[in-house]
A and B are shown apart, each in its own frame.
Chain A
Amino acid sequence: MDAILLQILNGLDKGSAYALIALGLTLIFGTLGVVNFAHGALFMIGAFCAVTLQRFLSLSFETVDPTQTDFLGNPLKVKTPYVEHWFGPEIGGAIIDWSVPLAILVAIPVMVAVGFIMERGLIKHFYRRPHADQILVTFGLAIVLQEIIKYFYGANPIPTPAPDMFAGSLDFGALVGMAENSIIYPYWRLVYFAFAAVIIGSVFAFLQFTTFGMVVRAGMADRETVGLLGINIDKRFTIMFGIAAAVAGLAGVMYTPINAPNYHMGMDFLVLSFVVVVVGGMGSLPGAVLAGFLLGILESFASMKEVIDLIPGINQIIIYLVAIIILLTRPRGLMGRKGVMEE
């Protein structure tokens, strides 16, 4: 029982990441009709916003400590971050320590700008082209973006830890009266899950309860009619692209303490996120979120030793297996609408 609870919890944070990326993908597909294979790269750029801010806040000056030597036997140059010099070790250290949450403030404008440039500069030229062309151009763009990041940051993962107060894990088992250490869950993953819930809720509320959201939803349902009413739907859709980019970027920022970011992390999530979108139903926002959590939890279950012993290799194929079964029984996905990508 506790093993099952444990894997459900595990699946939630993995599902959060899938859901956030798939949500952005679906927003773009639903509004602009573009299959955006560069969406994983937006997740990666968000993560590198956190890396960049951490590096910026850690900018240091050097002082020579004659009592210590470096690897060449020369007096050691000790680095002191400027923020620690200016604000003292405690406050300066805390600012660096909180660089990941602080990166949210940086990532929002950066990601909206990246999304805007991407949409206006490249993707808008492919609106009326076949989906295969869109996939090719956005996939190419993703490769270009990740190579740029690799050029500046190298190929190795870069540690970007969470604030110290979120280190360690919650003994969830002991909390609910089970044996000690039976269900443990890292604090930061709880934060990530809560953060994802807030973002997903905000996007839904924005679309549901604002005039802007109403127009966008109308545009998603019937773009031509909304255009005939004199509403500049293209402009709104461009803004939605920026919002989708920001959602992916924020997912990336908050993911950095979970796995040290590297240039390839977007690609690692991209294919799975597309499966999530298809399983959820093309163009369906609730479907994307539901499928994200469902597949995240299933993936966690498939990683259990007992399951692998029973069906070797199941951990590598479970998501695709479930996708096949769902698409065979519900060809439009869990919550897909009639007519989307069926013309």
Chain B
Amino acid sequence: MSNSNFTRRGVLKTSAVAGAGLALPTIFTNRANAFTNEPTGSTVTLGFNVPQTGPYADEGADELRAYQLAVEHLNGEGDGGMINTFSSKTLDGTGILGKKVEYVTGDTQTKSDAARASARSMIEKDGAIMITGGSSSGVAVAVQALCQEAGVIFMAGLTHSNDTTGKDKKANGFRHFFNSYMSGAALAPVLANAYGNDRKAYHLTADYNWGYTTEEAVRNSTEALGWETVAAVKTPLTQTDFSSYIAPVLQSGADVLVLNHYGGNMVNSLTNAVQFGLRDKMVNDKNFEIVVPLYSRLMARGAGANVKGIYGSTNWHWSLSQGFTTPDGTEVAPDAASAAFVKSFGEKYGFPPSQAAHTCYCQTILYADAVNRAGSFNPCAVVEALEGFEFDGLGNGPTLYRAEDHQCFKDVLVVRGKENPQSEFDLLEVVEVTPVGQVTYDPSIFGGDLGSCNPGA
């Protein structure tokens, strides 16, 4: 008769203890490596954290398409896209530092807590060396802080609030996308030129961080040119019908309505404003005008014909690939980098990329190049390689990753809803390419502290 010391209860207890030990986040146990998730095999894993569900799911899907395209190009597949036009020539189709690029994805749901959870999972369970993506400033700030603590690099996706590289900036975080300040600085002169310096503006502002910084930026810039702000009203983020906020606008004496809204809010508030016939009205002997500081082509589709003639700004637009003539007659030649990206993306997916897709593709390429130049995946080496890095050939012209706040500085596009679109993608036209000098600011004005880079383990 055999006599075993194993009991069912004992095995369960031992399994539970062992399981708990194994389940401990590697972030806390991986002390042998020089930095968090140091790649030791022949591959390296990137974490793409995008909204796959929720209101920005379509934008997230476009981001994911761009990331997949970037991975293909980094691994030497496809036509190479903007790697061919990028001014830095370290990327040769052999992955990053010779390691094949793999990726995992997470769903931010455009919720800070969900985004942090998915980023944490990708870092701890999947060994992601870098996290990138997102379509919201709230998410970007939350995930950036997590990456700083975890010791991985965060390459922000679509985030426009000044705070991401202002008061909430972190040493491990980098933003290629432009911000509210830049939108205001680029838009104001164009608006003054189009509508005059004697205007009264009424702001409707989404009641969250991005809305505040956008309102502040546009107010400051337009008031400096002589406009008066007659009122600024905060609207709940969950608002769907803006009629009760729009109806009093004409009574206020304002002759311009600035909609500091994004996404579904923008679509609804703009649709409501057009329904109320605001653009057909004359106030103060002037045509009533509407301005949308941050445009997204994907969102503009939702507003349909309502965007016609309305000014806004954007980080990049696919029409750069074809060249265009601005209203003042300036000929802008086709941009080779944008053309390469639109070709790669368009041939693979059948439609042109959005600005969200563009910024995400660029961030992946910039990270890979920085690692190659640094000769290491160590986040501190990557930070050093990206800080003060000047580059060209990624669709926005000469660009600087400023060392002081990890914000990219490049030309900003002022766009207008197209009167006679040729296709469903042809919604916006670029009316001015605002030179980078006009949108550059002192990094100290938004406060915050980068701190020092954190390599993690």
Q: Contact at A156–B298, with CB atoms within 8 Å? A: yes
In the complex the two chains form, what is the Cα distance from A11 to B426 in whole Å? 37
Contact A168 B280 (CB under 8 A): yes
A74 to B, closest residue via Cβ? B346
Q: Is B442 an interface residue (CB 8 A)?
A: no
Residues of chain A within 8 A (CB-CB) of B423 are 70-71, 76
Residue among B276, B342, B343 with max Cβ neighbours from chain A (10 Å): B276
Q: Give the interface residue-count category, chain B.
A: 35 or more
Q: Which residues of B contact A39 (CB under 8 A)?
A: none
Which chain B residue has the least Cβ–Cβ distance from A77? B423
- A262 with B236: CB separation less than 8 A: no
Give Cα A159–Cα B299 distance, bound, in whole angstroms: 11
Q: Is A233 part of the contact surface with B, judged by Cβ < 8 Å?
A: no
Nearest-CB distance from B198 to chain A (Å)? 19
Tell me if B302 and A71 are in contact (CB < 8 A): no
Q: Which residue of B245, B250, B267, B426 is within 8 Å of A303 (Cβ)? A: B245
Q: Quick check: is A273 within 8 A (CB to CB) of the other chain?
A: no
Question: Any chain A CB within 8 A of the CB of B118?
Answer: no
Choose from B54, B277, B299, B426 the contact partner of A168 (Cβ within 8 Å): B277
- Listed residue (B233, B241, B271, B280) with the most chain A CB atoms within 10 angstroms of its CB: B241
B433 interface residue, CB < 8 Å from A?
no
B422 x A156 contact (CB < 8 A): no
Q: Is B268 an interface residue (CB 8 A)?
A: yes
Chain A residues with CB under 8 A of B58: 154-156
* Stretch in B67-75, B83-91, B303-311 with 4+ CB within 8 Å of A: B303-311
Minimum C-beta distance from A331 to chain B (A): 29
A9: chain B residues within 8 A (beta carbon)? 247
List which B258-283 residues lie within 8 A (CB) of chain A.
264, 267-268, 271-272, 275-277, 280-281, 283
Central interface residue in A70, A260, A262, A304, by most chain B CB within 10 Å: A260
Q: How far is the CA of A268 from the CA of B238 in the complex (A)?
A: 8
> Is A144 interfacial (CB 8 A cutoff)?
no
Chain B residues whose CB sits within 8 angstroms of the CB of A155 once the complex forms: 54-58
- A262's nearest neighbour on chain B, judged by CB, is B264
**Does A14 lie within 8 Å of B347, measured CB to CB?**
no
Q: Is the Cβ of B250 less than 8 Å from the Cβ of A156?
A: no
Residues of B with C-beta under 8 A to A181: 250-251, 281, 283
Q: How far is the CB of B39 from chain A (nearest CB, A)?
A: 34
Q: Is B301 an interface residue (CB 8 A)?
A: yes
A305 at the B interface (CB under 8 A): yes
Q: How far is the CB of A286 from chain B (nearest CB, A)?
A: 24
Tell me if A316 is interfacial: C-beta within 8 Å of chain B: yes
Task: Report if A71-B318 is in contact (Cβ < 8 Å); known contacts: A155-B55, A182-B251, A304-B248.
Answer: yes
1/0 per residue, CB under 8 A from B, across A248-273: the answer is 00000000011110101100100000
Q: Is the CB of A258 within 8 A of B241?
A: yes
* Contact A305 B233, beta carbon cutoff 8 Å: yes
Smallest Cβ distance from B115 to chain A, in angstroms?
16
A184:B264 contact, CB within 8 angstroms: no
B321 in contact (CB, < 8 A): yes
Q: How far is the CB of B54 from chain A (nearest CB, A)?
A: 7
Report Cα–Cα, A315/B234, bound state, in Å.
Answer: 10
Complex Cα distance, B305 from A182, in Å, reads 26
Residue of B nearest to A309 (CB): B233
| B238 CB contacts on chain A under 8 angstroms | 268
List, sorted by A's number, 11 A–B pairs whose CB atoms are closer than 8 Å.
A68-B422, A71-B342, A71-B426, A155-B54, A155-B56, A159-B305, A168-B277, A168-B280, A259-B268, A308-B233, A315-B235
Q: Which residues of B contact A (CB under 8 A)?
A: 54-58, 231, 233-236, 238, 240-241, 243-245, 247-248, 250-251, 264, 267-268, 271-272, 275-277, 280-281, 283, 298-299, 301-306, 318-319, 321-322, 342-343, 346-347, 351-352, 422-423, 425-426
